[in-house]
Amino acid sequence: MNITEHAGIIPESGNVGFKRVFEAQNEVLDDEGELISEYLLLVYINDRLSGEIVCTPCGLPELVTGHLITETGITPEDIISIDICRLGHTAKVTVKDEVASRLTESVENTPTCCTDNATRLKLERKTGDLTRITGGSISKSAFPSILEKLSKDTKLHIRTRSAHSCFLVYDNEIIYEAEDIGRHNAVDKAVGYLAVNEADASHAALFTTGRMPIDMVRKVIRAKIPVLISKQQPTVESVELAREYDLTLIGNLRDDHFDVYNGISRIV
């Protein structure tokens, strides 16, 4: 795919003044802090409005690519080009004509998303768009490096204390770190990075700092990534979906233990 991201100044955060109240001392002080920014990104596919993503304006090509894969059902091979405007508010996507003709209207909000994301076009299929995951593995040796990176914190979260993160693990090494105001967006950025770089999804695993509800698990299954890991826990429904499509689901990752809800055979 051909990606164009026009140069522009899109701040990820900004300084805002506030009053800090110390109730015990009955004291109010003027202060200033850095807050995360949120932008509305409109995604068009062959000139049709496809999605609205409230996001942090970094890693936008990866975000759009990942969103197309995990929400619209489009594959990387379907995408001809992505053009993101200078201000980062519009992404114009061109896909193959035969794929565009199968896009149908379907206004759908992501139920547990941190932001007001909406998908307006879905790829029409004769059968369900989820397929059972095969192959893939992850070594337990990757877990200490994930926890070490997590303990050092990520750049945007250090500054704003508001960002969710997703680490893309490939062949047991962390190769990409995504941050966003929304945990679903951070996952999409990691999925998009994998696709943009034409890497084999079966070699990948995702670690998210957020919860693992059913819509998050569905995203990872659509991306054909075999392993999803979090420091948090899944829901009953997300475990059921992971078992149905054989996604390896790991929660509560800690120094001395982790919980496996499905796919323990992939952990080596």
- In this predicted model, what pLDDT tens digit does every residue of 158-197 receive, in sequence order? 999 999 999 999 999 999 999 999 999 999 999 999 999 9
Task: Report the sign of the C-alpha dihedral through residues 174, 178, 179, 180, in that order.
Answer: negative
State the average pLDDT over residues 136-147: 97
Q: What is the pLDDT of residue 165?
A: 96
Contact 162, 34 (CB under 8 A): no
The predicted structure's pLDDT at residue 116: 79
Q: What's CA 114's distance to the chain center, in Å?
A: 11
State the residue for tokens 């693992």. 212
Residue 242 has pLDDT above 80, yes or no: yes
Domain boundaries, the chain: 39-123, 142-266
pLDDT at 125: 67
Mean pLDDT computed over 90-103: 96
Q: Domain 142-266: what homologous superfamily? A: Cytidine Deaminase, domain 2 (3.40.140.10)
The candidate with the shortest Cα–Cα distance to 228, out of 171, 187, 189, is 187
Query: What pLDDT shows up at residue 142?
Result: 97
Distances (CA, A) of 227 to 105, 156, 171, 221, 242: 31, 25, 12, 9, 10
Q: Beta-strand (E) ranges in 24-157?
A: 27-36, 39-45, 48-55, 79-84, 90-95, 103-109, 118-123
- SS3 at position 203: helix
Q: Which residue has the higher pLDDT, 117 or 106?
A: 117
The pLDDT of residue 100 is: 95
Grouping H, G, I as helix, E, B as strand and the rest as coil, residue 27 is: strand
Rounded to 5 degrees, φ, ψ at 50 are: -105, -35
Look at residues 191, 181, 189 and name the one whose alpha carbon lies nearest to residue 157. Answer: 181
Q: Could you say which DSSP state residue 262 is in?
A: E
Of the candidate ranges 57-61, 92-96, 199-203, the one whose mean pLDDT is the lowest:
57-61
pLDDT at 156 exceeding the cut of 90: yes
pTM of the model: 0.93
Using alpha carbons only, give the angle 12, 17, 22 rounded to the nearest 5 degrees: 125
Mean pLDDT value across residues 239-250: 98
Residue 257 CB partners (closer than 8 Å, separation 6+): none
Residue-level pLDDT at 127: 53
Residue 261 near residue 239 (C-beta atoms within 8 A): yes
The kind and range of the H/E element at 245 are: helix 236-245
Lowest mean pLDDT among 6-20, 46-60, 119-133, 252-266: 119-133
- For residue 113, the model assigns a pLDDT of 73
How confident is the prediction for the chain on average, in pLDDT?
93
pLDDT score, position 160 = 94
User: Which are the contacts of 117, defined by CB distance < 8 A and separation ≥ 6?
Assistant: 51, 52, 53, 54, 109, 110, 182, 184, 185
Per-residue model confidence as pLDDT tens digits over 187-222: 999 999 999 999 999 999 999 999 999 999 999 999
Of residues 48 and 7, the one with the higher pLDDT is 48
Q: Which CATH code for domain 39-123?
A: 3.10.20.10
| Tokens coding 266 | 């992939």
For 242, the 3-state DSSP assignment is helix
Looking at residue 19, its pLDDT comes to 96
